[in-house]
């Protein structure tokens, strides 16, 4: 059951950069001439030839654009975020590694410029996002196969389209695939200010679920807490507050969570387990602390807790492309209803990629870095 209320505050203010980007896109759609044989003067891309520190191995290079043939689609990239998985992939610490040299970026939104003669599902002017990881979105233009792309509606904000294919999808699948939650049930998560965390707050609210959101303490803690509550967070606690005996008072007003979402590991994940209801499930989808998940024997025996993992790329392998498209359209509907917005973000021109990479790897930075082309 979806909640139709529209969120206010930070969610209702459309950033100026997004408006400028969308105006630029509209202008491009009305003035450009589309041809399957047109090619740009040059294509810029962020390329790495070796795994390592992104600041050292990523280079801005000019690439040749291949000709558009049968099932090919010529795409002009509009915006592409920098996600933790992008950084891990460049470092060589990810479950999926493209052949080198490779273009960085697994997510983003582009506009179709031209299509090959065999393309039936896309047309010039359409917006598209990657169907799978490893496509290489940190570039101005590219020619992709039609099956590598998914069309998305153009009536959603550009920054929402650019950040649609990874974090919101991960959030939704974890909320619905592991426990049969009902409206009024609660969910606890750490890294709540991450892209996935912000999506969990909003989607859970739309599903009628309550969220207990754990974050690290920081100088601007009140500002962050207020922003998460504007998104729909019911409770926001620091890691230290979660360990206090007073935390149990929260559960006088709502049931113990049957689902915990872990992106940190180490002591943080152990605390999540401590607050799970008997028979509950903790799903791990990240390891920011670079420490193992530790569960006591008593938690497994006497509380019958379950430890699971989630990786969106594996979910896609186990499900059809149509099921992923259905998920994307469901999330687009939430966006239209004002129930799902993009995470807090900063737009950075492609040529200033070093600034964006540095910001994306700093601690306590809650703003998603989005490369604009």
Tell me which residues are annotated as active site.
94
CB 50 within 8 A of CB 122: no
Cα within 13 Å of Cα(36), Cβ side: 13
Count other C-beta atoms under 10 Å from residue 67's C-beta: 11
Sheet hosting strand 235-238, strand order edge to edge: 235-238, 210-215, 186-189, 259-262, 281-284, 306-309
Tell me the CA distances in angstroms from 11 to 8, 198, 224, 315, 338, one per residue in order: 6, 11, 13, 29, 8
In sequence order, what are the residues at sequence separation of 6 or more whose Cβ sits closer than 8 angstroms to the Cβ of residue 26?
none
Q: From CA 275, how far away is CA 305, in angstroms rounded? A: 11
């Amino acid at each position: 059951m979806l909640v139709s209320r529209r969120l206010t505050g930070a969610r209702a203010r459309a950033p100026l950069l997004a408006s400028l980007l969308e105006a630029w896109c509209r202008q491009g759609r009305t003035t450009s001439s589309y041809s399957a044989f047109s090619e740009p003067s040059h294509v810029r891309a962020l390329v790495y030839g070796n795994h390592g520190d992104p600041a050292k191995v990523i280079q801005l290079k000019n690439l040749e654009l291949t000709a558009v043939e049968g099932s090919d689609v010529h795409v002009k990239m509009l915006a592409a975020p920098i996600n933790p998985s992008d950084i891990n992939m460049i470092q060589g610490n990810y479950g999926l590694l493209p052949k080198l040299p490779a273009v960085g970026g697994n997510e983003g939104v582009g506009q179709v410029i031209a299509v090959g003669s065999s393309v039936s599902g896309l047309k010039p002017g359409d917006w598209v996002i990657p169907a799978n990881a490893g496509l290489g979105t940190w570039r101005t233009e590219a020619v992709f196969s039609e099956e590598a792309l998914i069309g998305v509606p153009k009536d959603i904000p550009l920054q929402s389209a650019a950040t649609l294919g990874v974090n919101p999808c991960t959030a939704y699948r974890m909320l619905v695939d592991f426990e049969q939650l009902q409206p009024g049930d609660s969910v606890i998560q750490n890294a709540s200010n991450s892209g996935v965390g912000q999506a969990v707050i909003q989607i859970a609210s739309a599903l009628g679920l309550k969220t207990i959101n754990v974050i690290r303490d920081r100088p601007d803690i009140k500002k962050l807490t207020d922003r998460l509550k504007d998104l729909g967070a019911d409770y926001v606690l620091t890691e230290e507050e979660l360990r206090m005996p007073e935390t149990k008072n929260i559960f006088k007003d709502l049931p113990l969570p049957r689902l915990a979402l872990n992106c940190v590991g180490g002591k943080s994940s152990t605390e999540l387990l401590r607050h799970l209801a008997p028979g509950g499930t903790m799903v791990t989808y990240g390891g920011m602390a670079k420490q193992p998940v530790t569960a006591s024997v008593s938690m497994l025996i006497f509380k019958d807790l379950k430890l699971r993992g989630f990786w969106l790329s594996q979910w896609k392998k186990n499900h059809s492309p149509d099921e992923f498209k259905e998920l994307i359209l469901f999330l687009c509907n939430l966006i239209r209803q004002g129930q799902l917005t993009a995470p807090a973000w900063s737009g950075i021109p492609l040529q200033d990629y070093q600034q964006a990479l540095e910001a994306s790897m700093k601690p306590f930075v809650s703003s998603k870095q989005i490369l604009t082309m």
